[in-house]
Amino acid sequence: MPVTPVDAPVSPLLSTPGAVAAEGVDAGVAAHYGDPMREQRLLEEGLAVVDLSNRTVVTVSGQDRLTWLHSMTTQTVTGLAPRTSVETLVLSPKGHVEHALHLVDDGSTTWITVEPGTAPSLVAWLESMRFMLRVEVADVSDDYAVLGEPHSAESAPGEPLAWRDPWPDLVGDTAAYGPVVDHPGSARRWRELIVPRADLVAVVGDRPLAGIWAAEALRVAAWRPRLGFETDHRTIVHEVDWLRTAVHLHKGCYRGQETVARVHNLGRPPRRLVFLHLDGSGHVLPDRGAEVVHDGRAIGFVTSVARHHELGPIALALVKRNTAVDAPLLAGGIAAAQEVVVAP
């Protein structure tokens, strides 16, 4: 499960009147600015911006950068046009998810945003894989920050460079383990602006701010997996329906590919992601990591929890694959009804 990053930067936007600091992995930015439900609605209307300056930023430069990244990660990256976004994953040799890379190239440098506190381990691994190639890797998180905004377009010349979230589209030669038509994430628009950290306040300007609670509620409602939340040390991509945006099934060899191919061709994943509607009558939410129980037996754990302005209390959870899709569940002791995200 995610942990609080060491020396997490404190955003200057936390000085905004009404700002309440987030805790845990999202420390350093605002959980909300006084009205999380209104902030959700502003995001859905395309009006607000979210401080994600706790995310870390890595650059890769040099003429071999795209072919090098292509050879090591799950998605096609070669021939990437400037300002085109890609989501790609770094897997362990056994196919477990280690890093999620939000990647966009500006024509001379590849910019990657990753989860808070994870840049040092990603940079160390990339450095170990450089060999004789013409690439340079840098953690530029001290100089650059990330803002989230509800837009579905790639950034245009003259705008700050941005990574556009492809979720839940099927990207390239891939597969869906959940619905393709009428996916609840289809209405969610999202991109991440990469801006000089010194310009963070100026780029926000007079736009309303929404906190991380609002952004997370919309992410959970869209069934969108997040590294360190919907993943643990043994998560494979099939369990959380991450092939659809981040994995090309016929792109050549990369670390962990054997597991991806074997499970896709010969079997089903051992666990599956579910969306939970929680009983809100007690006005409490289960903790992230709380056990999910069926018939007195633990069959999984809660990965993300939120209060949605229309759906009420909701969560994502990983459960055993063979759990019946209509089984009544308890999530941290709270009654929960499930919707299928990954089919059993």
Same domain, 82 and 217: yes
pLDDT band at residue 1, thresholds of 50, 70 and 90?
A: very low
Same domain, 86 and 127: yes
Question: Between the CA of residue 105 and those of 43, 47, 57, 63, 111, what are the distances in Å?
Answer: 26, 26, 13, 12, 6
Q: How far apart are CA 64 and CA 68, in angstroms?
A: 6
Same domain, 28 and 172: yes
Residue 315 tokens read as 């969560």
Q: How far apart are CA 159 and CA 193, in angstroms?
A: 9
**CA dihedral sign of residues 259, 264, 268, 273:** positive
What domain range includes position 336? 270-340
Same domain, 285 and 227: no
Same domain, 173 and 64: yes
Total structural domains in the chain? 2
Beta strands in the chain (DSSP E): 20-21, 30-32, 49-51, 56-61, 85-91, 97-105, 109-114, 136-139, 144-149, 162-164, 191-196, 209-210, 271-278, 291-294, 297-308, 312-320, 329-331, 334-340
Same domain, 65 and 200: yes
Q: Is residue 22 part of a domain?
A: yes
Average pLDDT, the chain: 96
Per-residue pLDDT at 252: 85
Q: Is residue 264 part of a domain?
A: no
pLDDT band at residue 137, thresholds of 50, 70 and 90?
A: very high
Per-residue pLDDT at 6: 57
Sequence-ordered alpha helix ranges (H) in the chain:
36-44, 65-72, 119-128, 200-204, 212-221, 243-246, 257-266
Indicate whether 248 pLDDT > 90.
Answer: yes
Q: CB neighbours (10 Å) of residue 245?
A: 25
Average pLDDT over residues 110-118: 97
CB under 8 Å to 263, separation ≥6 — which residues? Answer: 95, 236, 238, 269
Indicate whether 2 pLDDT > 70.
Answer: no
Q: How far apart are CA 15 and CA 17, in angstroms?
A: 6
Q: Is residue 265 part of a domain?
A: no
pLDDT band at residue 131, thresholds of 50, 70 and 90?
A: confident
pLDDT band at residue 119, thresholds of 50, 70 and 90?
A: very high
More confident residue, 282 or 95: 95
Same domain, 222 and 277: no
Per-residue pLDDT at 210: 98
Indicate whether 188 pLDDT > 60.
Answer: yes
Q: At what angle do helices 212-221 and 36-44 cross, to 10 degrees?
A: 60
Indicate whether 140 pLDDT > 50.
Answer: yes
Q: Which residue has the tokens 């990469």?
A: 194
Average pLDDT over residues 241-258: 96
Per-residue pLDDT at 265: 94
Same domain, 215 and 291: no
pLDDT band at residue 282, thresholds of 50, 70 and 90?
A: confident
Percent of the chain whose pLDDT exceeds 70: 98
Indicate whether 3 pLDDT > 60.
Answer: no
Q: Is residue 46 part of a domain?
A: yes
Q: How far apart are CA 312 and CA 279, in angstroms?
A: 9
Same domain, 170 and 282: no
CATH of the domain at 51: 3.30.1360.120
Per-residue model confidence as pLDDT tens digits over 221-245: 999 999 999 999 999 999 999 999 9
Average pLDDT over residues 297-321: 98
User: Of 246, 280, 314, at which residue does a domain stop?
Assistant: 246
Residue 240 tokens read as 């959380």
Indicate whether 8 pLDDT > 90.
Answer: no
Secondary structure element (H or E) that encloses residue 248, with its range: none
Identify whether the C-beta of residue 203 lies closer than 8 Å to the C-beta of residue 147.
yes
Indicate whether 48 pLDDT > 90.
Answer: yes
CATH of the domain at 279: 2.40.30.110
Same domain, 104 and 192: yes
Identify whether the C-beta of residue 309 lies closer than 8 Å to the C-beta of residue 40.
yes
Q: Is residue 228 part of a domain?
A: yes
Indicate whether 278 pLDDT > 70.
Answer: yes
Pairing mode of beta strands 162-164, 191-196: antiparallel
Indicate whether 47 pLDDT > 60.
Answer: yes
Secondary structure element (H or E) that encloses residue 290, with its range: none
Indicate whether 7 pLDDT > 70.
Answer: no
Per-residue pLDDT at 5: 62
Indicate whether 185 pLDDT > 50.
Answer: yes
Q: How far apart are CA 71 and CA 253, in angstroms?
A: 7
Indicate whether 283 pLDDT > 60.
Answer: yes
- Count helices and strands in the chain by DSSP H and E runs: 7, 18
Per-residue pLDDT at 132: 79
Same domain, 51 and 162: yes
Per-residue model confidence as pLDDT tens digits over 163-178: 999 999 999 999 999 9
Per-residue pLDDT at 60: 98
Q: For residues 114-149, b (16+ Cβ closer than 10 Å) or e, as one string? A: bbbbbbeebbeebeeeeeeeebebebbbeebbbbbb
Same domain, 239 and 335: no
Q: Is residue 291 part of a domain?
A: yes
Q: Is residue 4 part of a domain?
A: no
